[in-house]
Every structure is written in C-alpha cells, then in structure tokens.
Amino acid sequence: MPLLAVQGLKAGYGVGPDILADVSIDVEAGRTYCVIGPNGAGKSTLLKTVAGIVKPRDGVITFDGASVGGLRPDQILRAGICFVPQDRTLFPQMSVRENLVMGGYLIRDRHRLNERLELVFEMFPRLAERSAQMAQTMSGGEQQLLALGRALMIEPKLMMIDEPSLGLAPRVTSQIFDVIRSLSRDLGITVLLIEQNVKKGLEVSDWAFVLDLGTKRFEGPAGEILDDPRIRDLYLGKLADRGGS
Amino acid sequence: MAEIQVLILGLLLGGVYALMASGLTLLFGVMRVVNLAHAAFIVLAAFCSFYLWEFAGIDPLISIVLIMPSFFVLGMVLYRVLFPRIEGTPRFTEMTVLMTFGLAFVAEGLMARFFGGIFRSASPPYARDAIILGDYYVPTGQLLASTASLVLLLGLWAFLKFTRTGYGVRATMQNRDAAQIVGVDVRRVSTISFGIGMAMAGAAGALVSFLFPFFPARHWQWIAILLSLIVLGGMGSLKGAVVGALLLAVVSSFVSHTLGPVWAPITFFGALFLILLVRPQGLFGKKARV
C-alpha cells in the first residue's frame, strides 16, 4: 500500500476555476519523488492541497491508511506530513531557535521538544551557531536550511518541499540538495519535491510525476524521464511555443 | 510646577487608553481585522458596569471579574457567527471595516433603545477622591483605573509570552501562513484572540464607567482616538499601543492645559496625519510586505 495515495483530486482557489483538474499519484514510503511541469501546471497547488492549506473540491487523499482529504493543516501535520513552502515562510522576528521551537508546536512534551531541537542542531551545525540570530537577517540559503530544520522538528514521515532552490546561488543550491538527499538516505523520510531546476531535481529523486494543466500526464523513473520524447513535446516544446528563445 | 501635575494626569489617562486600545491592536495583529465596533463594546461594558453598580451595588472594579468572562464568550460567539463568511476573501481587511462599521451602528442602536441616550456615569466613592502629594494631586479613581489597566496589560503580555496558546497567537501575528504550516490551528487562535480582544474591551468599559460620562454614541469619538494611537504605535503591535497611548495622552493633556480643552482632540488627529506622512508603519510597526 502506498504511503500517500491521491485519487481524482480537484482543487482551486476561492471561487476561481479548478487548478487541479484530476490528479492521481501514489507515493511509496522511503523514496524521493519529483513533480515537474511547466508554470501553472498545478504543482504547488497539489502540495498545498495535500497539506490542507487549499481545500480539495473533489477526490480522495489517503495517508498511512487514513483519509486526510479536507482535514485542517494542523491535523494533517499531526498525521506526519509536513510542508516547506516556496517562500520558506519563517517567523521573521523570531530567532533561529524560536523558529525551531515553533516547528515543534505540536509537541507538548517539553523533554521531547528539546530532544528534537538538539537533533536538528546536530544535523545543521550552521543553525546551532546562529541559534540566537533573527530569522529575517539570515541569507537565503540559511533561511532554507532553517525551513527544512523547522519541518524536521515533528519527525515527519513525508516531507513536501516546494522549490528549495528558488533564489539561491548554484553553490548554495548544491548544499541544499545534499541535505534533501540525506533526508531519505539517512532518516528514511519520504520526500515529495517540486523543482524548477528539473535536472537537479531529478538527480536526487527516484521517481517523477509530470504535471500539465492540472492533470498528471505521465510518470516514470527519474533517471529516464528526461529522455522521454513526451517531455520534449510537453515541457521543453511548450516552453519554446510560449515564446521562449 | 503645573507641568508635573499635567504629566501625572496625562500618564494616568494614557494607562486607560492603552487598555482600551489593546484589544483593537491585538485583533488587527492576529487577524487583520479592523474592529470599528471596539469602542461600542467598551460603551456596552460601561453600561453593564453602571447597572451593576446602580442596582446590585457591585463596585465597577469588581465588576471586571464578571464582565471580562462574559465579553470573552460574546467575542468568540460574534467571531464564529460573523466572520467565517468573509474569511478568505481577497479584500478581507476592507470587508472587516465595513462589517464592524455596521456592527457598531447596531450596537449603538440597541444600547440607545434599551439604555436610553442620556449621559451616564457610575459613581463609586473613590471616583471623586484624590490623593494629595505635596503640591500635586492624584485622582484616586484614575489611579485605580490605571493600576488595573497595568495589571491587565501585564497579564495579557504574560499570556502571549509564556503560554502555548500565546505562542500560537504571536506566531500568527508574525506570519499567518507559517503559523498554519507548523500546526497552529489559526481558526482556533483567531477565535480565542477575538474573545480576548473583547474581554479587554469589557475591562476597559468597566473602568470607563466611572472615569468618563458616557452615552451610546460616545464610541465614535473613542474609536477615532484609539485608531489614531494604534496607528502611531504601529498597527498590530501591543507595545506600540501602550507607547502610543501614553504619548498621545500626555501630549493631549499639555495641549489641553496650554491651549484649552477644546484643542485636546486635535492632538490625536494631528499625530495621525504626521505619522502617516513620516512613518506610515508606525513606531513599532512592520513595513507592509510586498
């Protein structure tokens, strides 16, 4: 049984049109998945809907054997799905440490909270060095590290990460991808990733879903998907059609 | 030194203004709600306190203990009844201005219908007393009211700083999306915050009942003052509301002393214009995020 199963998912914002028209994906435990597709394909909306931030209009979301579609974000987080959004959304006027403590908001046991905090600091010595620094004064790469560290506070089973490389220098991007790779390799966390830098994203992934116009077009092993002729038509081809040079 | 006397009176007044404004700034900070009905509920609480004093002999300071929990519940109910239908709309804050403007009229109309439109004031014995300190006098009622305000504001601060729900409230004030992502139930936090905002209005009303004469329509004057001082402090900042309240109360006391009482209200609107020109985010406010 897959860890996360999405079936016939339909979602959109406010009274607007469906951004996700009909998406079905299966995510197996312990692997890393990359969602790729052109802008406006519905990649971010898919993650936000699974996280409970956008309410599904139709379809079924099952996680770890239980239905989680339509639950509140805090209930979904409690089930073990955490979400690292595109703009990282930290608490700007809280210190690194306070941000991490907020990441463990659902942990009521103080002892356990400190344990997790130490573990995250051990994983990211950079954050430990800067534990008293205000989040808003940190560099983009450090903020991304903090966002990842904050998500790890609750010991998630599935981590959904939306464009971790956005706005980062190539060298910093590589560091972030090393961290993402170690999530699944060292911690056994299942990862669902969106990445504009398709090559980079596929490098760290086992499997890829290709989304366009709110539906999944196809999927396949991450190592082979770039060679798929359909990618050229749908993704690279479309980019050219849309006026790219 | 008449100046010191003016300063004493200004600071005492500022303490009460700070309490009156605390709920208003909290609601804006947590939920982006501009509650124009805030002062109307202060007047409602003042009427409650007045009648408790007149008919049951309950001291207005004691009545806080009854009024705060009732207003807390009233706030939570109002929030759950009125706000879900406009939540998530793109112009949420503007919608709250319109809705609470209407709510203020409804509250005012109901008060006028049931309590009448004449001036009221509770008159516990300390309301007309004063403590003489050498050349200066400290009105006992204002001293008690400011002390009560200080205690309540400290209580609010401690709640925000040290409790788990308080953490959730502060996190929601800083970044609502991020709060949601780490598992803060922002709906619950918003409901509780609305209750707390209303409870603070309730406590302020109990104090107002013996400090100022009031009648149902008095709230328009107060909401204008409260808005100007939280804009000065930075909308959504509790610290800003306290500093703004003390500052403007003292300045208006001096204006009243030198130019005459009719000029005192000008202080608030003068400060409002000035701060919007010079530092629109207020003293402790965040710059609007793009």
Sketch the domain layout of chain A as residue ranges.
1-79+192-245
> pLDDT at position A116, please?
95
What string of pLDDT tens digits covers the 245 residues of chain A?
899 999 999 999 888 899 999 999 999 999 999 999 888 899 999 999 999 999 999 999 999 999 999 999 999 999 999 999 988 789 988 899 999 999 999 999 999 999 999 999 999 999 999 999 999 999 999 999 999 999 999 999 999 999 999 989 989 999 999 999 999 999 999 999 999 888 889 999 999 999 998 999 889 999 888 888 887 777 655 554 444 33
Mean pLDDT of B3-25: 95
* Mean pLDDT score of chain B: 93
> pLDDT at position A236, please?
58
Give the tens place of pLDDT for each residue, B163-194: 999 999 989 888 888 999 999 999 999 999 99
Which residues of A fall within a CB distance of 8 Å from B179? 102
**Which among B88, B182, B187 has CB closest to A103?**
B182
Q: Indicate yes or no: CB of A91 within 8 angstroms of CB of B168.
A: no
Contact A222, A202 (CB under 8 A): yes
Q: Residues B227, B233, B235, B241: is their CA dihedral positive or negative?
A: negative
Kindly report the pTM of this predicted structure: 0.85
> pLDDT at position A40, please?
86
> pLDDT at position A229, please?
81
How many angstroms separate the CA atoms of B147 and A73, rounded? 41
Q: Indicate yes or no: CB of A150 within 8 angstroms of CB of B182.
A: yes
> In b/e form, how buried is each residue of B74-107, taking b as 16+ CB within 10 angstroms?
bbbebbeeebeeeeeeeeeeebbeebbeebbeeb
Query: CA nearest B145: which of B221, B212, B239, B199?
Result: B212
Mean pLDDT of B119-146: 92
Q: Where residue B223 falls among pLDDT bands split at 50, 70, 90?
A: very high
Q: The tokens of B47 are what?
A: 């009427």
The answer to ipTM > 0.95 is no
Which residues of B fall within a CB distance of 8 Å from A82? 181
A73 interfaces chain B, CB cutoff of 8 Å: yes
Does the pLDDT at position B246 exceed 90?
yes
A136 interfaces chain B, CB cutoff of 8 Å: no
Q: Residues A129, A135, A136, A142: is their CA dihedral positive or negative?
A: positive
Query: CA nearest B217: which of B71, B109, B113?
Result: B109
Three-state DSSP at B209 gives helix
Does the pLDDT at position B240 exceed 60?
yes
Does the pLDDT at position B288 exceed 60?
no
Q: Indicate yes or no: CB of B178 within 8 angstroms of CB of A89.
A: yes
Q: Classify residue B287 by burial, with Cβ atoms within 10 Å: 0-12, 13-18, 19+.
A: exposed
How many angstroms separate the CA atoms of A135 and B134, rounded? 52
Of B192 and B86, which is predicted with more confidence? B192
Residues of B at the A interface (Cβ-Cβ below 8 Å)?
88-90, 164, 167-168, 171, 174-175, 177-185, 187, 286
CATH of A1-79+192-245, one of 3.40.50.300, 3.40.1160.10, 3.30.429.10, 3.40.30.10: 3.40.50.300
How many angstroms separate the CA atoms of B205 and B228, rounded? 19
A239 interfaces chain B, CB cutoff of 8 Å: no
For residue A220, CA distances in Å to A31, A38, A72, A216, B79 come to 13, 17, 31, 11, 49
How many angstroms separate the CA atoms of A56 and A20, rounded? 9
What's the gap in Å between the CA of A230 and the closest CA on chain B? Answer: 35
> pLDDT at position A244, please?
37
Mean pLDDT of B65-92: 92
**Amino acid letter, B256:** S
Three-state DSSP at B204 gives helix
Three-state helix/strand/coil letters over A15-55: CCCEEEEEEEEEECCCCEEEEECCCCCCHHHHHHHHHCCCC
Q: What is the edge-to-edge ordering of all strands in the sheet holding A66-67? A: A66-67, A56-63, A4-12, A18-27, A215-221, A207-212, A32-36, A190-194, A158-162, A81-84
Which residues of B fall within a CB distance of 8 Å from A92? 174-175
